[in-house]
Amino acid sequence: MVSPTRSGESFLPSGEARICAETFGRATDPAVLLIGGAAASMDFWEDEFCEPIAAAGRYVIRYDLRDTGRSTNYPAGEPGYTGADLVTDALAVLDGLGVYGAHLVGLSLGGGIAQHLAVDHPDRVASLTLQSTSPAGPGGPDQPDLPPMEPRLAELFASESPGVAWSDRDAAIEAMVEGERIFAGSVPFDAERARRLAARVYDRTTDMAAMQTNHWILEGTGPLRDRLGAITAPALVLHGTDDPLLPFPHGEALAREIPGARLVAMPGMGHQYVPEPLWDLAIGEIVAHTVG
């Protein structure tokens, strides 16, 4: 049964696309828009994570990015949209729910979307929370203050790995679990919880192959690092101390380059949605940052 404070799914228009969204809490409370990472449906913002934020007096909104969950999908390898469209989709979700300004919580790719919204649409952004993201991507020789991903990940990405039969439910679930494990930090990895979540994701997703492919080959939205100083929204940076993809200095750089931003280290967290042992810390910080 749907919780009394939970809306159930709705489909909101964004150009030719339909974006699947769900809310927790009262529409009269300050809105918190959760913007997820690449190849991740809104299910990764787990119910038990959203509910205490709503109980603290927030109108929590989560949604499926294009090519995830039940939002519009495109053939695998042929995304019919760009990174800029993902930015527009976030505004379309707010418009469809009758929300003008919102507190944004963006993770990884979602953090990049949130940064673009804060720079280009500052009147729509009440505050900014950036988790597991970066001012300029994975880093490298041209950005010496932003260390590259850990060698084990670089080797993995460079290797020729056999394809996953995404239409095979059991194989797809196991592949998602192992994918989460690779990016986890030193906080103990809860494989059974990850498996339950992966099963939910699989059962809600229209096209698993598209979800696992298309975000990685999108045309980007262009460099943003030199514009971060223009952000006026109050900013909070949550970054894992054990992030193997975007090591901790990426979070430090964001906090340094966004005026007035505050950095909170997430002990032992990798490049991942907040693991359950750190929920109290993350939820407490988000609630305190989104007053009004």
Task: Give the CA-trace dihedral at 231, 235, 238, 243, to 10 degrees.
Answer: 10
Distances in Å between the alpha carbon of 144 and those of 139, 148, 151? 7, 9, 16
- Give the architecture (CATH level 2) of 10-163+207-289: 3-Layer(aba) Sandwich (3.40)
* pLDDT reported for residue 170: 97
Per-residue pLDDT reduced to its tens digit, 257-271: 999 999 999 999 999
* pLDDT reported for residue 4: 57
Residue 246 CA to its chain's centroid (Å): 14
Does residue 94 register a pLDDT over 80?
yes
Catalytic positions, please? 108, 243, 271
Higher pLDDT residue, 5 or 203? 203
The C-alpha atoms of residue 126 and residue 130 are separated, in whole angstroms, by: 13
pTM: 0.97
For 218-229, the DSSP string reads -------GGGGG
Does residue 71 register a pLDDT over 70?
yes
Q: Strands, E, within 148-288: which ranges?
A: 235-240, 262-266
* pLDDT reported for residue 23: 98
Does residue 1 register a pLDDT over 50?
no
* pLDDT reported for residue 143: 86
Q: What is the residue whose two structure tokens read 């940064």?
A: 115
Does residue 14 register a pLDDT over 90?
yes
Name the residue ranges covered by the structural domains of the chain. Answer: 10-163+207-289
Per-residue pLDDT reduced to its tens digit, 185-202: 999 999 999 999 999 999
Least confident of 41-45, 85-89, 137-141: 137-141
The C-alpha atoms of residue 218 and residue 93 are separated, in whole angstroms, by: 21
The C-alpha atoms of residue 84 and residue 87 are separated, in whole angstroms, by: 5
Kindly state the average pLDDT of the residues 121-148: 91
How would residue 222 be classed by pLDDT, with cut points 50, 70 and 90? confident
Q: Do the Cβ atoms of 152 and 259 come closer than 8 Å?
A: no
Angle, alpha carbons 64-252-43 (nearest 5°): 15
Kindly state the average pLDDT of the residues 138-160: 85
How would residue 277 be classed by pLDDT, with cut points 50, 70 and 90? very high
Give the percent of the chain with pLDDT over 70. Answer: 98
